[in-house]
Chain A
Amino acid sequence: RKEVEQDPGPFNVPEGATVAFNCTYSNSASQSFFWYRQDCRKEPKLLMSVYSSGNEDGRFTAQLNRASQYISLLIRDSKLSDSATYLCVVNVNAGNNRKLIWGLGTSLAVNP
């Protein structure tokens, strides 16, 4: 089983739709979690960190479920500009080791 797994998609949704992605992780020692966004042929950029209590930033909501070991990203009122690949990132802090583990990404296409 991969350490971080995402559905690669693509998710094709119309403008204005609500779409949600999940990301599962296998290491229960995972400490912190992030969603990055990567546009085609561009570098990844941080979209949001994921906090235990869940957090919201405008149309984006991130949730963490430690019991089931997954994080989620919800996008409301999708815009054409939301089309991108969304990367799930997990920080594993075990003893002296710190490591960021990257998912392969979920591709989103928002259509007019």
Chain B
Amino acid sequence: DVKVTQSSRYLVKRTGEKVFLECVQDMDHENMFWYRQDPGLGLRLIYFSYDVKMKEKGDIPEGYSVSREKKERFSLILESASTNQTSMYLCASSSGIHEQYFGPGTRLTVT
């Protein structure tokens, strides 16, 4: 079974803090994605990566950066957390553009 794990299920941070969300997949997938999901707005792509050290902006990259130093790991960084970044963050991986396998999500609250 494909497994995608995320470092935290719940996280509470203060405004202005730097936040790291880690994602690890164990199926040697070349593609990895970071989404956020908000009520009424659905899944929105933040960043994605098709290869190690490669990254591309998604639909809402502002306020975020990513890092992919190893194939299995894709990190999302909030340089200075703000309250409007309170959300559910979902990491996914895939081989090709087809089925995406998601991690359990991190519910981030910024106060």
A32-B97, A91-B97 known; A45+B102 contact, CB < 8 A: yes
Q: Does A100 contact B (CB under 8 A)?
A: yes
**Interface of B, helix, strand, loop or mixed by DSSP:** loop
Q: Does B62 contact A (CB under 8 A)?
A: no
B39 nearest in chain A by CB position? A104
Number of residue pairs spanning A and B whose beta carbons lie under 8 angstroms apart: 36
Chain B interface bracket (under 10, 10 to 19, 20 to 34, 35 or more)? 10 to 19
Q: Which residues of B contact A25 (CB under 8 A)?
A: none
Chain A interface bracket (under 10, 10 to 19, 20 to 34, 35 or more)? 10 to 19
**Interface of A, helix, strand, loop or mixed by DSSP:** strand
- 0/1 interface trace, chain B 66-100, chain A, CB 8 Å (1 if under): 00000000000000000000000010000001111
Question: Which residues of B pack against A, CB within 8 Å?
Answer: 40-43, 45, 90, 97-100, 102-105
21 of the cross-chain contacts (CB-CB < 8 Å) are A32-B97, A42-B104, A42-B105, A43-B90, A43-B103, A43-B104, A43-B105, A44-B100, A45-B102, A49-B99, A87-B42, A87-B43, A91-B97, A91-B98, A93-B97, A98-B97, A100-B45, A102-B42, A102-B43, A104-B41, A104-B42
